[in-house]
Amino acid sequence: MALDLEAVKAAEIPETSMTLERGRLVAFVRAIGERDPVYLDAQAARAAGHPDIPAPPTFLFALETESPFPFDQADRLGFDPALVLHGQQSFSYDRLAYAGDVLTCRSRIVDAYAKTPAMDFVVKRSEIRRGDGERVLVAETLLIFRSAVAA
């Protein structure tokens, strides 16, 4: 079953918010093997000129994954979420985010197309801002929806 690409393009994605918790940042940093004390200890971060522990560059993808899209959206479109692949990710940073920041993610579908009868591609662009309205980054995600025949 292929996606209804016009329905995907028109889909509204609910806004999501997250408070960057220091413990969650440190757990992520340890999980990826980062050893820089700036990412592990608030005192080290402050000594390096940061207001608190900075979020590592790829951590903010977590905010996107807390959004109901793509899996809730796929389910509502009658598509099996188990057939969704994460194809590509890019980040364009304006500034760092830190422990304690409240971030809001607004996403929208910027493209949806079929390359083969067995695969549909969806491009989602997300803008993440701090509570003061300052943009932290723009992220772009390529999702691949495989048909059950291709699985």
Nearest CA-CA partner of 145 in 109, 117, 107: 117
8 Å CB contact between 57 and 140: no
Residue 71: per-residue pLDDT? 58
pLDDT score, position 33: 95
- The SS3 call for residue 102 is strand
Name which residue leads in pLDDT, 1 or 138: 138
Per-residue confidence (pLDDT) for residue 66, from 0 to 100: 66
Q: In what order do the strands lie in the sheet with 135-146?
A: 16-19, 102-116, 119-130, 135-146, 84-93
Domains of the chain, residue spans:
5-20+54-146
* pLDDT given at position 140: 94
**pLDDT at res. 54:** 97
Helix (H) or strand (E) holding 137: strand 135-146
Give tens-digit pLDDT for 74-112.
665 666 778 888 899 999 999 999 999 999 999 888 998
- Please state the rounded mean pLDDT for residues 12-32: 91
The residues with which 143 forms a beta bridge, in sequence order, are: 86, 122
CATH superfamily ID and name for 5-20+54-146: Hotdog Thioesterase (3.10.129.10)
pLDDT value, residue 74: 60
**Pairing of β 135-146 and β 119-130:** antiparallel
| The two three-digit tokens of residue 83, written as one number | 């057939």
> Mean of the pLDDT values across residues 2-15?
76
> What's the pLDDT score for residue 60?
86
pLDDT of the residue at 75: 63
